[in-house]
A and B are shown apart, each in its own frame.
Chain A
Amino acid sequence: MRRNGNQPVTQAGGHAVPRHRIVVCIAISDPVLAERMVSLLPDDSRFEVHGGLDDSGDADVILADRPLALRRPTIALDDHHHDDEQDLDRWGTDARAILPSTVDGDLLRAAVVMVAAGFSIVEVVGSRGLSDEGEELTRSSDIALGEMLTPRESEVLSLLAHGASNKVIARELEISIHTAKFHVASVLAKLKARNRSDAVAIGIRRGFVVL
């Protein structure tokens, strides 16, 4: 149940088709780099590539090699090594991904699609990154337990985290108190929680609870 307003995908006739092509604006001062980026983004059914900043207001993604503060999602091409303090404002919050200028076509195209869909991309280096955590969770029973919660139970768990009583849950979800109690009991059982506080603690640890 993803609610990403600007996802460039829509359902039509049962098939996922692009609602529109992703408009990419190239704002790169180095002509050689600019040309390479254009060559990596074929003007095909997925991308519509513009040179210069004239159309930046309509751009889904801007490819830039310097900070421009356009308040549009930007992929920064930057080979500098950043230090936390002094670079705090270099790219501002426009940058959703920073890629080296040597980026290959597959990575660039994937990044454009992700950033256009409202994601930001953080590179993780080292053995204990997010990617590792993903594997770890897949191996453990955590993911399986999470997938076992029905959408209704997930809502109930979030309501519990926000301190709702059975009565409040019933009112919020427009169900009977009896049904609310049933859902709460089922959430506790599935998470192997002793009580509602314990269920919330487990849900928080596993990322099942909206904060």
Chain B
Amino acid sequence: MTTLSQFSEAVRALVDKTAQRVVAISVGGRRPASGILWRGGLVVTADEALGEEEDVELTMPDGGTATGMLAGRDSSTDIVLLRVEGQPATLESLKPASAVKSGHLAVAIGRGGNGEIAAAGIVKECGESWRSWAGGLINRRILLDLDLDMRAHGGAVVDADGNFIGLAAFAPRRRTLVIPAETVDRVAEALAMKGSIARGYLGVFLRPFWGRRGTGAVVVKVDADSPAKRAGIHVGDVVTAWSGEPIRDVHDMFRRLGPDTVGSTVTLDVRRANQPARIEVVIGERPHR
């Protein structure tokens, strides 16, 4: 047996083993996607792959079909949790890959109508934690040098030992991005418990502001009984910085108010009556009815 065929068999074995935890997701009228059997009766997939649908049909690794019902979604980290009836209540936890670095082998596995869909490549880039557009904290920035099939969106990415690197997703311009295992576990656990993840809430409506001294976000309405109200933020105040970091527009504020800010105290620099002021505010959670 040549070294090349040994390599081939090894990759094939990886795909075979990982595929036991990968399901196909079909959503009426939408492009099919994949998901990962994360824990017993629970499937994780990419929020973007699921779209507006909340009840989907799954093709399980044994070829049987099942119905997946939305258990929770967090678009800030692109993670959706689905509950599946009639599955074993317990499943071995996916063993996370340790110390992933640029250059390591990566294999992405999805499931389509004809069985598993595999792609192999290497880790192209592996950076520190980052914040998504909506302010979700993603533990590492991992991009892969491989071409992910659209049907494998939401599938699993593993390393050469078959350990779980994370969930396969797309970055802009169709680059292959991995939501790391650590992020998947953290968010899916919270979704399994609570069904949703609360973002930080100030209780303000903001509009972009362009002034002589630069840009910011101007408060146009303050919710009654909100953290902003309690901190003494007023309509007309222009927010220019969050804990010393500049706020240039409304989106900067949205991004800052990710789920991990709930309960934290931040210092907002505002321009009030044309002069700078500092306001301390305790970030809350949007009140429920």
Give the interface of A toward B (CB within 8 A).
2-5, 76, 82, 84, 87-88, 90-93, 95-98, 114, 118-126, 128-130, 132-133, 158, 161-168, 172-174, 184-185, 188, 195-197, 200-201, 204-205, 207-211
The bracket for how many chain B residues form the interface is: 35 or more
The answer to whether B277 and A133 touch across the interface, beta carbons within 8 angstroms, is no
Lowest 6 A-B CB distances belong to which pairs? A120-B236, A207-B207, A120-B234, A128-B210, A3-B224, A95-B273
Nearest chain A residue, comparing its CB with the CB of B228: A211
For the complex, give the distance between the alpha carbons of A166 and B289 in Å: 16
The answer to whether A211 and B257 touch across the interface, beta carbons within 8 angstroms, is yes
The answer to whether B205 and A96 touch across the interface, beta carbons within 8 angstroms, is no
The answer to whether A92 and B271 touch across the interface, beta carbons within 8 angstroms, is no
Q: Which residues of B contact A97 (CB under 8 A)?
A: 273
Q: Which of A121, A124, A185, A196 contacts B212 (CB 8 A)?
A: A124
Q: Which residues of A contact B221 (CB under 8 A)?
A: 2, 210
Contact string against A for B residues 222-253, beta-carbon threshold 8 Å, 1 for contact and 0 otherwise: 11100000001011111000000000001101
B75 at the interface (CB under 8 A from A): yes
B64 at the interface (CB under 8 A from A): no
**CB neighbors of A among B176-213 (8 A):** 195-199, 201-213
For the complex, give the distance between the alpha carbons of A174 and B52 in Å: 20
The answer to whether A200 and B134 touch across the interface, beta carbons within 8 angstroms, is yes
- Pick 13 A–B contacts, CB within 8 A, sort by A: A93-B232, A119-B235, A122-B236, A122-B272, A129-B212, A132-B210, A133-B210, A165-B54, A168-B196, A196-B75, A210-B204, A210-B286, A211-B206
A211 to chain B, nearest CB (A): 5
The answer to whether A88 and B257 touch across the interface, beta carbons within 8 angstroms, is no
B35-43, B66-74, B144-152: which one contacts chain A? Answer: B66-74
A189 to chain B, nearest CB (A): 12
The answer to whether B199 and A167 touch across the interface, beta carbons within 8 angstroms, is no
**CB neighbors of A among B254-274 (8 A):** 254, 257, 259, 271-274
Q: Which residues of B contact A208 (CB under 8 A)?
A: 205
Q: Which residues of A contact B238 (CB under 8 A)?
A: 122
For the complex, give the distance between the alpha carbons of A164 and B279 in Å: 29
The answer to whether A91 and B273 touch across the interface, beta carbons within 8 angstroms, is yes
Q: Which of A126, A188, A197 contacts B48 (CB 8 A)?
A: A197
The answer to whether B273 and A163 touch across the interface, beta carbons within 8 angstroms, is no
Nearest chain A residue, comparing its CB with the CB of B234: A120
